[in-house]
Amino acid sequence: MGLTIAEIRDNTLRARHLMQRSRQQGFAVGAFNIDNQETLIAIARAAQKLNAPVLVEVSQGEVEAIGLDNLRDMVDNYKKEYGVEMYINLDHSPTVEACKQAIDAGYEFIHIDISQANHDASEEEIVAKTKEVVEYAKFTGALVESEPHYFGGSSNVHTEEINYEEIKKTFSTPESAKAFVEATGIDTFAAAIGNLHGKYPVPKELDLELLGRIREAIPCQISLHGGSGTPLHFFEDAAKIGVSKININSDMRYAFRTVMEEELKAHPDEFAVVKLMDKVKDAVQAVVEEKIQAFGSAGKAVV
């Protein structure tokens, strides 16, 4: 069942208040990807247990698999069932049209990422299309996030080492961040400071000094993508510096798949897979709880 415009605007206003609280109180909100119902339940349970606000996020592939409106309904149902503060973030949406559809469906957070579909997109094209989404989002009040160039890695488990010399070439700078925010009017800037999509065999390292300079340069919110595989102390410091949103995906997927494989091996004669999901959900919930604690968002929900 779809939301009314009044309900959507109330949700987006609450989402904006959450981002303001995160800055004022020095915590970050976890944005956790889902591609199935079990993962959504794990997020809701973690949010309830720790009284933490959370974002449930979906990329284009997950939208295609589950359905834009279905996801809206699922999140609303579990938000009500568990009594939690929970919002939806459209993550790395590659087109303006897809963003507009999510805004119409009542998504509170929209990430327009033109370079996701075209890694060679010009900054002029990225700015123009981001501005179009920003203008469209004003009708509901949805918060719009973007960045001026392609963000590397993939939400998977990688075997290769991280080539930081190459990664540093794509780091954000205070000057470019300021120019992009001013040109587009976005609510959230996706910073690149060593964060990288995916889970790697070595820990990631965040340039917190650079983050501090970016924070001083721009007035809007800052998000960090590619949070998986990052030592927790980086998150604690980033939240204090002024990051409002941190994305987690690969760590959850790794927990889901490894425990699922263990359960399948332990129960070779069980074909009702739903009966094997309790430990899987517990494993994903543990990942979400760990991140919430590191982000400083436990106890910060307003329901």
Tens digit of each residue's pLDDT (9 = 90 or more) over 92-117: 999 999 999 999 999 999 999 998 77
128 pLDDT higher than 90: yes
Residue 135 identity (one-letter amino acid): E
CATH number at residue 286: 3.20.20.70
Q: Does residue 23 lie within any of the structural domains? A: yes
Q: Does residue 300 lie within any of the structural domains? A: no
- How far is Cα of residue 63 from the mean position of the Cα atoms in its chain? 14
Determine the average pLDDT of the residues in 5-30.
98
Residue 275: pLDDT band with limits 50, 70, 90: very high
Determine the average pLDDT of the residues in 254-274.
97
Q: Does residue 303 lie within any of the structural domains? A: no
Angstrom distance (rounded) from CA 108 to CA 72: 10
Angstrom distance (rounded) from CA 24 to CA 90: 25
Q: Does residue 216 lie within any of the structural domains? A: yes
Q: Does residue 199 lie within any of the structural domains? A: yes
Domain that holds residue 46: 5-295
Mean pLDDT for all residues in the chain: 93
Q: What is the predicted pLDDT for the residue at 202?
A: 67
Q: How many CA atoms lie within 13 A of 132 on its CB side?
A: 15
Angstrom distance (rounded) from CA 17 to CA 9: 12
Domains identified in the chain, total number:
1
Angstrom distance (rounded) from CA 196 to CA 176: 19
Tens digit of each residue's pLDDT (9 = 90 or more) over 137-170: 999 999 999 999 766 655 666 667 666 777 777 7
Angstrom distance (rounded) from CA 103 to CA 123: 24
Tens digit of each residue's pLDDT (9 = 90 or more) over 195-227: 877 777 667 889 999 999 999 999 999 999 988
pLDDT-above-70 percentage for the chain: 93
Q: What is the predicted pLDDT for the residue at 151?
A: 67
Q: Does residue 302 lie within any of the structural domains? A: no
Q: Does residue 301 lie within any of the structural domains? A: no
Q: What is the predicted pLDDT for the residue at 179?
A: 97
Residue 189: pLDDT band with limits 50, 70, 90: very high
- Out of 35, 69, 73, 91, the active site residue is 91
Q: What is the predicted pLDDT for the residue at 1?
A: 64
- Is residue 120 annotated as a catalytic residue, yes or no? no
Bridge-partner residues for 208, per DSSP? none
Tens digit of each residue's pLDDT (9 = 90 or more) over 33-85: 999 999 999 999 999 999 999 999 999 999 999 999 999 999 999 999 999 99
